Amino acid sequence: MRDKKQLLQDCMNRMIEENELAGVNFLVLKDGKEELYAEAGFANREEKKPFKRDTIVRLYSQSKPITAAAAMLLFQDGIIDLYEPVGKYIDSFNNQEIVEAGVRRPVRFDRPMFIKDLLDMTSGLVYPFTDTISEIETGNIYNEMIDRFSTDNMMSTMEFAERLGKVPLAFQPGEHFRYGTSADILGAVIEKASGMKLGEFMEERLFKPLNMKDTAFYVPDEKQDRYAMAYNCYDPEPVPYSGNNLGIRDDGKKNAFESGGAGLFSTIDDYANFARMLMNDGTFEGKEILTKRCVRFMTSPQLTDAQQNDLYGWSTLGGFSYGNLMRIMKNPDRAGIMAGMGEYGWDGWLGPYFANDPESKTTILMLTQRVDYGTGPATRKFRNIIFS
């Protein structure tokens, strides 16, 4: 009989010894109950602080499924309609322009950017890079936001959205899939539709009912001793990272920009409660958070064949489709990992990872803080041990 816990711990220890990761923890739930937990390495190597169960990390893009769930609350209650134009909530998203192959033109008047485009990354919004005017101007807004951290005039979620609406899109909304700032704009839509700050809405409708007591858009002073350091692991030894990538404050302090795409801080047990709720068709400890049908919608692939073609360039997502800010397994026989049909979840820039596999009723969660990791070799090795 294979001892999965021992195999996982051995693999984890190897990853720390090889400096693949500085510190990591991993949790497996079966039918919502804990099956195994393991940890290794350091949350802070310099202070010899071990990576523990209550270690707080920056989730980065693993914030996205929570933002999708927040949107689903408004969707199921009839407050937003996914085919409403984003411009209904954020003025600058009316009369947008596109620059495609160097040619500038208006967005089709009969097909503006919908809320659904934000959930499926089919909006034409991009992340910062240096190739196109869309990428460069998006980067300029982030740079200004970071410059303003040290002032008493920080850029808010809504100001970010209003500014981004004036940046030309990379393509006509609905025509392609492109991973970008869609979830941040969705956060601003949630603010406008709910009349609350994104963090307040999530606290009231998700974090409190799910007992996610360590999850927020900042790390309070009294919890800073549990906050993990992020590391660059390209040198012989991991080197501490300090930067404010995508406008997320590295120091964990309060930020006027509550990023629906990347801004949450959390622990493995908090995220496990969110995962349990989804696995249990929207119910947590007897409380209905989302309806069963809404969870089914949220965890179903949404891309058209044309949009799916854009995902094929993401080579390590073989077999997956996408929808509602998550990868969703559509063809397990085409995947380079062991996975069940309908498995869904997402990861983050520093390596945190979440997957729910409804077929086997298994949840896996991993937290680590390695720069530019996303889903890395360690993640795939760990999950193959569990799902084999």
Considering only CA atoms, which of 92, 246, 294, 83 is closest in space to residue 173? 83
Considering only CA atoms, which of 218, 237, 245 is closest in space to residue 371? 245
Question: For the residues 201-215, what does the mean pLDDT come to?
Answer: 98
Question: For the residues 171-183, what does the mean pLDDT come to?
Answer: 98
User: Judging by DSSP bridges, how do beta strands 320-323 and 344-347 pair with one another?
Assistant: unpaired
Question: For the residues 341-360, what does the mean pLDDT come to?
Answer: 98
pLDDT at residue 263 in the model: 98
pLDDT at residue 100 in the model: 87
56 near 228, Cβ under 8 Å?
Answer: yes
pLDDT over 70, % of the chain: 100
Work out the angle at residue 65's Cα, subtended by the Cα atoms of residues 321 and 225, and round it to the nearest 5 degrees.
135
Which residues contact residue 187 at a Cβ distance below 8 angstroms, ignoring those fewer than 6 apart? 67, 157, 161, 198, 258, 259, 260, 261
Please report which confidence band the pLDDT of residue 101 belongs to, taking 50, 70 and 90 as the band edges.
confident
Mean pLDDT for all residues in the chain: 97
Considering only CA atoms, which of 155, 344, 367 is closest in space to residue 259? 155
Q: Is the predicted pLDDT of residue 235 greater than 80, yes or no?
A: no
Q: Is the predicted pLDDT of residue 362 greater than 90, yes or no?
A: yes
- Least confident interval from 187-191, 203-207, 233-237, 252-256: 233-237
Fill in the amino acid letter for 194: S
Question: For the residues 216-244, what does the mean pLDDT come to?
Answer: 95
Please report which confidence band the pLDDT of residue 234 belongs to, taking 50, 70 and 90 as the band edges.
confident
Q: Is the predicted pLDDT of residue 244 greater than 80, yes or no?
A: yes
* Cα–Cα distances in angstroms (integers) from residue 354 to residues 107, 152, 346, in the given order: 35, 36, 5
Which residues contact residue 156 at a Cβ distance below 8 angstroms, ignoring those fewer than 6 apart? 256, 257
Question: For the residues 78-90, what does the mean pLDDT come to?
Answer: 98
DSSP-derived 3-state class of residue 97: strand
142 near 105, Cβ under 8 Å?
Answer: no
Q: Is the predicted pLDDT of residue 55 greater than 80, yes or no?
A: yes
Question: For the residues 174-190, what does the mean pLDDT come to?
Answer: 98
Number of H helices, E strands in the chain: 11, 16
pLDDT at residue 281 in the model: 98
Please report which confidence band the pLDDT of residue 39 belongs to, taking 50, 70 and 90 as the band edges.
very high
Domains along the sequence of the chain with CATH: 4-72+200-387 (3.40.710.10), 81-196 (1.20.58)
The neighbour count for residue 295, using CB atoms within 10 Å, is 22
Q: Is the predicted pLDDT of residue 118 greater than 90, yes or no?
A: yes
Question: For the residues 218-247, what does the mean pLDDT come to?
Answer: 95
Residue 289 CA neighbour count, 13 Å, CB half: 29
Which residues contact residue 315 at a Cβ distance below 8 angstroms, ignoring those fewer than 6 apart? none
Considering only CA atoms, which of 193, 216, 189, 192 is closest in space to residue 204? 216
pLDDT at residue 1 in the model: 84
Fill in the amino acid letter for 21: L
Question: For the residues 277-294, what does the mean pLDDT come to?
Answer: 98
65 near 287, Cβ under 8 Å?
Answer: no
Q: Is the predicted pLDDT of residue 200 greater than 80, yes or no?
A: yes
Fill in the amino acid letter for 307: Q
359 near 343, Cβ under 8 Å?
Answer: yes
Which residues contact residue 196 at a Cβ distance below 8 angstroms, ignoring those fewer than 6 apart? 204
